[in-house]
């Protein structure tokens, strides 16, 4: 194909590409070769794709073209190249979680969601970079090194699905799969200007055996899609769900986004969760997204979610309930990323010492660190049980607020995915609370999607006031030089109503397109 044809092919969504392959306009081989060439062109700067299966993908593309030539039935992603997060098993490749000791441990079968993508006709090009043990919002680890953001190489694409978001934003893959325990799909999607979705807890549970132990069931990681369009995310979600009405127990049907009447929706929106104030640019993007829905007739009300700090305590308390023992066992003798080393050290300290440290940090003006440290060090079953009870109580309180607060009952919530646009490399150590806008909905188990809205304007770079708090200092660094970075809205629906979130996301996407759309990543 010519360079122009390759460029046109790379600009296609997954759905468009599947249609072009099915019609014979493009072959699967051409699609795969174009995306391999794009990965090879951008990956030296991004370090997003860390395991490549090009030979296998080429063979699978040839077989896909032969099936089409024979007139066999074609899946909805027939011949479409995709990428998979390192944490999900793909036969013949390692799932390392950033652990050098796992680099030669090859999967003997596909993860169930990978298998469903393959059954739909997708062709896997490779696997993408992550943080060590998937535990923070930068994709950097001692095995593969640091992934970079295609909008600004000095900034992170986020984590833990950061490599996935980066390569999709850069055009090396039209769509892929990530996982989300505490914002791991949504924060990278927002940082890189792509679409992503975390499904309702229980719809697509993540069976990965590393990171946070599978035995921790209060907050359960979910597998979800990332792509450049809402329609691609909707299709990929339907595929990994096992279909629109899968034969599963309990049944987990998906509604139809096209059947949602936007004018009948009641929408709540907020821009400050009370933990880390969002950047001026982020506030504007969220307000614009809510305005797009209001423009289609939805009833939109400014709102404040109840006691997000309590939800944050539940999140950090549940995930540290073992005192970091599971993480230490997973790490073994492997070299430790400094951020992981810090988390494991804190989680393993005795409770009296942590309580004293939290109090001292508060007195020293380090409110963000104090609020996290106060949840560590319990390491007893009774405390974990009480956290689960507190989570159940909080879920009831939150639903009641949605039902009874002024302007409700609400169908949709619009809010930030993170307090800031893409942060600078290394700052996730101090900005643990930046993603609390996302972790709230892991505690609740609600489905939530990310849709790009805008980019940071030069006049929005004006940093927040100076502070001695390390998190606020890092937030100030993030805002300086942020002009041109992508901005997104997080769109939250009630449990099992992903289709309502997708319908709202589609309206926002259409409104953004009508005013000129999102630009391409500036560093590429």
- H/E/C letters for each residue in 376-404? CCCCCHHHHHHHHHHHHHHHHHHHHHHHH
CA distance 81 to 86: 16
Judged on CB neighbours under 10 Å (0-12, 13-18, 19+), 333 is exposed
Instruction: Assess whether pLDDT exceeds 80 at residue 272.
Output: yes
DSSP letter at 278 equals: P
Do you find a cis peptide bond into 409, omega within 30 degrees of 0?
Answer: yes
Distances (CA, A) of 132 to 209, 312, 335, 503: 14, 22, 10, 35
Residues recorded for the chain: 524
Residue among 376, 31, 422 at smallest CA distance from 192: 422
pLDDT in tens, 309-322: 999 999 999 999 99
Say if residues 374 and 358 touch (Cβ distance below 8 Å).
Answer: yes
Q: What are the percentages of helix, strand and coil residues in the chain, rounded to 5?
A: 45, 15, 40
| Separation of alpha carbons 410 and 16, rounded Å | 34
Quick one: which H or E segment has residue 227?
strand 222-227
Q: Which residue has the higher pLDDT, 494 or 250?
A: 494
* Beta-bridge mates of residue 415: 490
Among 13, 95, 139, 160, which one carries the catalytic annotation?
Answer: 160
2 as an active site residue: the answer is: no
In the chain, residues under CATH classification 3.90.1300.10 are: 3-310+385-514
Q: How far apart are CA 29 and CA 227, in angstroms?
A: 21
pLDDT tens digits for 424-444? Answer: 999 998 998 888 999 999 999
- Per the rule left: phi > 0, alpha: psi between -120 and 50, beta: everything else, 168 is alpha
- Of the residues 95, 139, 184, 428, only one is catalytic, namely 184
Where is pLDDT greater, at 345 or 160? 160
Residue 343: predicted pLDDT: 86
To the query of whether residue 358 is one of the catalytic residues in this protein, the response is no
pLDDT band of residue 39 (cuts 50, 70, 90) is very high
d(CA 518, CA 524): 14
State which fold the 3-310+385-514 domain adopts. Amidase signature (AS) enzymes (3.90.1300)
Q: What is the pLDDT of residues 44-68, one digit of tens each?
A: 999 999 999 999 999 999 999 999 9
Chain mean pLDDT for the chain: 95
pLDDT at 54: 98
* CB distance 227 to 168 below 8 Å: yes
- Which tokens in the block code for residue 271? 């821009």
Q: How confident is the model at residue 307 (pLDDT cuts 50, 70, 90)?
A: very high
Reading across the β-sheet that carries 486-493, which strands appear in turn?
49-52, 123-128, 81-85, 175-180, 222-227, 195-198, 448-455, 486-493, 412-415, 266-269, 299-302
pLDDT > 70: percent of the chain = 99
User: Before 160, cis peptide (omega within 30)?
Assistant: yes
117, 55 Cβ separation under 8 angstroms: no
pLDDT given at position 1 = 63
CA distance 266 to 272: 20
Nearest to 343 by CA among 129, 187, 131: 131
Pick the closest to residue 438 from 430, 448, 428, 429 (CA basis).
Answer: 448
Marked catalytic residue, from 13, 85, 428, 454:
85
């Amino acid at each position: 194909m010519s360079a122009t044809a390759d460029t046109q092919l790379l600009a296609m969504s997954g759905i468009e590409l599947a249609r072009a392959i099915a019609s014979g306009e493009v072959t699967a081989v051409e699609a795969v070769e174009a995306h391999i060439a794009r990965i090879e062109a951008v990956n030296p700067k991004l370090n997003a794709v860390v395991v490549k299966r090009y030979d296998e993908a080429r063979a699978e593309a040839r077989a896909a073209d032969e099936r089409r030539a024979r007139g066999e039935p074609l899946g909805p992603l027939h011949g479409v190249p995709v990428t998979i997060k390192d944490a999900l098993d793909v036969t013949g490749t390692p799932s390392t979680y950033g652990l050098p000791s796992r680099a030669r441990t090859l999967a003997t079968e596909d993860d169930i969601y990978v298998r469903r993508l393959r059954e739909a006709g997708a062709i896997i090009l490779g696997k993408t970079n992550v943080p060590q043990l998937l535990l923070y919002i930068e994709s950097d680890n001692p095995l593969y090194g640091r992934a970079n953001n295609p909008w600004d190489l000095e900034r992170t694409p986020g984590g833990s699905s950061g490599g996935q978001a980066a390569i999709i934003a850069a055009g090396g893959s039209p769509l892929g799969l990530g996982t989300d325990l505490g914002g791991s799909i949504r924060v990278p999607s927002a940082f890189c200007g792509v679409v992503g979705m975390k499904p309702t807890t229980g719809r697509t549970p993540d069976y990965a055996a590393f990171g946070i132990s599978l035995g921790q069931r209060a907050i359960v990681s979910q597998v979800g899609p990332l792509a450049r369009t809402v329609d691609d995310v909707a299709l990929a979600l339907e595929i990994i769900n096992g279909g629109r009405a899968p034969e599963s127990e309990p049944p987990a049907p998906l509604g139809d986004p096209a059947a949602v009447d936007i004018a009948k929706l009641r929408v709540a929106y907020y821009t400050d969760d009370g933990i880390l104030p969002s950047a001026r640019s982020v506030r504007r993007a969220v307000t614009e997204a809510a305005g797009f829905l209001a423009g289609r007739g939805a009833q939109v009300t400014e709102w404040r979610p109840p006691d997000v700090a309590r939800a944050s305590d539940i999140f950090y308390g549940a995930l540290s309930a073992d005192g970091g023992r599971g993480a230490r066992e997973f790490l073994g003798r492997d070299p430790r990323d400094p951020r992981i080393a810090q988390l494991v050290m804190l989680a393993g300290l005795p409770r009296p010492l942590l309580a004293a440290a939290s109090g001292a940090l508060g007195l020293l003006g380090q409110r963000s660190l104090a609020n996290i440290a106060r949840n560590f060090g319990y390491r007893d079953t009774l405390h974990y049980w009480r956290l689960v009870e507190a989570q159940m109580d909080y879920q009831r309180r939150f639903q009641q607020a949605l039902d009874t607060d002024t302007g409700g009952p609400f169908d949709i919530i619009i809010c930030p995915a993170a307090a800031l646009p893409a942060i600078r490399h290394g700052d996730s150590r101090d900005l643990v609370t930046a993603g609390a806008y996302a972790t709230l909905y892991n505690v609740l188990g609600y489905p939530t999607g990310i849709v790009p809205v805008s980019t940071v304007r030069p006049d929005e770079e004006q940093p927040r006031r100076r502070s001695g708090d390390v998190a606020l200092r890092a937030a100030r660094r993030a805002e300086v030089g942020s002009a041109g970075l992508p901005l997104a809205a997080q769109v939250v629906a009630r449990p099992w109503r992903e289709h309502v979130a997708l319908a709202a996301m589609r309206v926002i996407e259409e409104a953004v397109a009508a005013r000129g759309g999102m630009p391409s990543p500036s560093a590429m």
